[in-house]
């Protein structure tokens, strides 16, 4: 079975989506910006 | 395996691109939503003037977010029903995480803007945090293939339009700042620019959700959990714990209604902004909805009489700034994406679909503004949510007093009517073209 087919299987999706989230650069960019924002808020307040 | 980059039209024929007429219709709706978002987001900033009456910025932000929470659950409950929201989330459960992160970003940014208003004033702070459009364009191009294959004309129109809008905003800020007594504090500047970066980055989760086929009404319902959670944590941390927070909330009883209402008005603007991002992308949707600065200026100038006593040069600067912003807005609005650019969006959508194993029909129908899930019936939970929100507004409204801020009633009514007109036009267009999908 190739990787493409494995991704399409529902059970594989259910197990892997959390790993997919943490391995996605789209997750880390907002997270880092959020932490920066909290530090900035601490400074301005 | 189906590929979204060779997207099918509504009929579901694989391999055929989306009909150009449909692309144009969706783009027109997106632009209209962006314009309406500007009007409603601008109106929502008005109650933040309460910061000038001595209410804590964190308390204002907390109460606005409480109003936002009421709006973000009651409006989608009326328009779509919680069963529909549940069905959407079941198709792409990973988006709950992004919705919550986006909500947290919004809360921190909103709190920063109130500190910025306190230090710089509304008219100076506004254009500074509106740099979020530039950040949004950068993320849109880098992560979601926006403006790829767009051609130099569309690139120039969008980037040039955003730049002209930014310059117009700076001109407005200069005109305003020359008329206010307070000096530009570095902390206020950092707060306003920081809010711009946070809001600009918040569009990453937005775009991700809509490339995955998510309905904006479903996304905002989970977005607000992050929003209220983060804001409650901030309020508890910055206001000395639950007892102190409760004391300050009850102490602000007279203005509770206005702040909750501001949050509710924000929700309407934000829902339109979500549809704008969905149908014209971050790089177009956000600059258009950033016309909220023009609306903020209109409210300030005609409803609150902020121009009174201004020198002729300053008024001329404000007018030129407004004209530049309108020009930039027009350039972006007329630069609609063609089919080749739309196919690049589909490629970005395909990345999401494959990475998270989302159903191809769910993604495709979402991108095309069609329903993949049949309309759900309203349940007792929907009516309960509407009743709680209505009860909260009636209860606080009965105790509300107009704060000690001068307001020109006639101008305010005219501006409200304009907002309502845009609301009606947008709702009609969204219903006709997408059935709120």
Reported ipTM: the value is: 0.77
- Cα dihedral B146, B147, B149, B151 in deg (nearest 10): 170
Among B26-30, B78-82, B166-170, B214-218, which stretch is predicted with the lowest mean pLDDT?
B166-170
pLDDT above 50 (res A1): no
Residue B402: strand, helix, or coil: coil
B198 contact A CB<8A: yes
How large a percentage of chain B has pLDDT more than 70?
85
Would you say the pTM of this structure is higher than 0.95? no
For residues B190-217, give the mean pLDDT: 88
Our CA-based measurement puts residue B328 at a distance from the nearest CA of chain A, in whole angstroms, of: 28
CA distance B110 to B62: 9
Among A15-19, B342-346, B433-437, which stretch is predicted with the lowest mean pLDDT?
A15-19
Residues of B in contact with A36 (CB under 8 A): 194, 197
pLDDT above 50 (res B320): yes
Provide the token pair at B112: 């920063």
Asked whether the beta carbons of residue B198 and residue A37 sit closer than 8 angstroms, the reply is yes
pLDDT above 70 (res B5): no
> CB-CB: which of A9, A17, A34 is closest to B108?
A34
Confidence of residue B173 (pLDDT cuts 50, 70, 90): low
For residues B291-315, give the mean pLDDT: 76
A35 contact B CB<8A: no
Residues of A in contact with B140 (CB under 8 A): none
Q: How many CB atoms lie within 10 A of CB B60?
A: 26
CA distance B137 to B207: 11
pLDDT digits (tens, 9 = 90+) for B39-64: 998 888 776 666 556 677 788 888 88
* Mean pLDDT, rounded, of chain B: 80
pLDDT above 70 (res B273): yes
Confidence of residue B6 (pLDDT cuts 50, 70, 90): very low
- Cβ within 8 Å of residue B298, ≥6 positions away: B42, B415
pLDDT above 70 (res B193): yes
What per-residue confidence (pLDDT) applies to A15?
A: 56
Largest CA distance in chain B: 67
How large a percentage of chain B has pLDDT more than 90?
13
Confidence of residue B296 (pLDDT cuts 50, 70, 90): confident
Helix, strand, coil content of chain B in percent (nearest 5): 80, 0, 20
Residues of B in contact with A42 (CB under 8 A): none
What per-residue confidence (pLDDT) applies to B322?
A: 72
Residues B68, B271 contacting (CB under 8 angstroms): no
More confident residue, B282 or B30: B30
How large a percentage of chain A has pLDDT more than 70?
67
CA distance B196 to B113: 9
Which of B38, B26, B55, B56 shows the shortest CA–CA distance to B286? B38
What per-residue confidence (pLDDT) applies to B255?
A: 82
For residues B142-165, give the mean pLDDT: 76
DSSP string, B197-229: HHHHHHHHHHHHHHHTT--HHHHHHHHHHHHHH
Residues B147, B283 contacting (CB under 8 angstroms): yes
Asked whether the beta carbons of residue B112 and residue A8 sit closer than 8 angstroms, the reply is no
Residue B8: strand, helix, or coil: coil
Asked whether the beta carbons of residue B354 and residue A7 sit closer than 8 angstroms, the reply is yes
Given CA atoms B109, B263, B158, B172 in this order, what sign does their dihedral have?
negative
Residues A30, B202 contacting (CB under 8 angstroms): yes
What per-residue confidence (pLDDT) applies to B370?
A: 75
């Amino acid at each position: 079975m190739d990787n493409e087919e494995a991704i399409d299987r529902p059970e594989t999706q259910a197990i892997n989506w959390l790993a997919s989230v943490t391995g996605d650069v789209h997750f880390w960019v907002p997270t880092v910006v959020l932490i920066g924002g909290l530090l900035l808020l601490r400074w301005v307040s | 395996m189906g590929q979204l980059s060779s997207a099918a039209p509504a009929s579901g024929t694989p391999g055929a691109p989306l009909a150009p007429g449909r692309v144009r219709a969706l783009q027109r709706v997106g632009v209209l939503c962006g314009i309406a978002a500007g009007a409603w987001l601008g109106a929502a900033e008005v109650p933040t003037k309460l910061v000038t009456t001595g209410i804590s910025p964190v308390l204002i932000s907390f109460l606005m977010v409480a109003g936002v929470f009421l709006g973000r659950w009651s409006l989608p409950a009326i328009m779509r029903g919680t069963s529909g929201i549940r069905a959407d989330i079941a198709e792409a459960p990973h988006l709950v995480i992004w919705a919550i992160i986006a909500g947290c970003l919004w809360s921190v940014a909103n709190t920063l803007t109130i500190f910025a208003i306190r230090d710089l004033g509304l008219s100076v702070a506004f254009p500074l945090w509106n740099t979020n459009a530039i950040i949004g364009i950068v993320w849109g191009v880098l992560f979601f293939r926006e403006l790829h294959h767009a051609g130099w004309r569309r690139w120039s129109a969008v980037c040039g339009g955003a730049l002209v809008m930014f310059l117009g905003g700076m001109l407005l800020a200069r005109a305003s700042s020359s008329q206010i007594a307070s000096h530009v504090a570095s902390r206020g500047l950092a707060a306003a620019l920081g809010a711009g970066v946070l809001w600009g980055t918040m569009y990453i989760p937005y775009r991700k959700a809509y490339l995955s086929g998510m309905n904006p009404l479903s996304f905002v319902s989970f977005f607000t959990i992050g929003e209220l959670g983060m804001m409650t944590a901030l309020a508890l941390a910055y206001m000395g714990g639950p007892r102190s927070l409760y004391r300050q909330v009850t102490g602000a009883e007279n203005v509770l209604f206005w702040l909750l209402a501001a949050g509710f008005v924000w929700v309407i603007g934000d829902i339109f902004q979500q549809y704008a991002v969905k149908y014209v992308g971050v790089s177009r949707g956000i600059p258009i909805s950033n016309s909220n600065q023009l609306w903020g200026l209109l409210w300030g100038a005609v409803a609150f009489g902020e121009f009174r006593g201004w020198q002729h040069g300053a008024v001329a600067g404000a007018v030129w700034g407004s004209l530049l912003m309108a020009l930039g807005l027009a350039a972006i609005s007329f630069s609609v994406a063609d089919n080749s650019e739309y196919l690049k969006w589909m490629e970005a959508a395909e990345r999401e679909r494959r990475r998270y194993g989302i159903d191809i029909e769910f993604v495709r129908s979402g991108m095309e503004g069609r329903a993949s899930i049949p309309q759900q019936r309203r349940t007792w939970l929907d009516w309960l949510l509407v009743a709680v929100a209505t009860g909260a507004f009636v209860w606080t409204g009965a105790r509300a007093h107009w704060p000690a801020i001068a307001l020109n009633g006639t101008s305010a009514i005219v501006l409200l009517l304009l907002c309502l007109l845009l609301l009606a036009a947008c709702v009609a267009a969204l219903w006709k073209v997408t059935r709120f999908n």
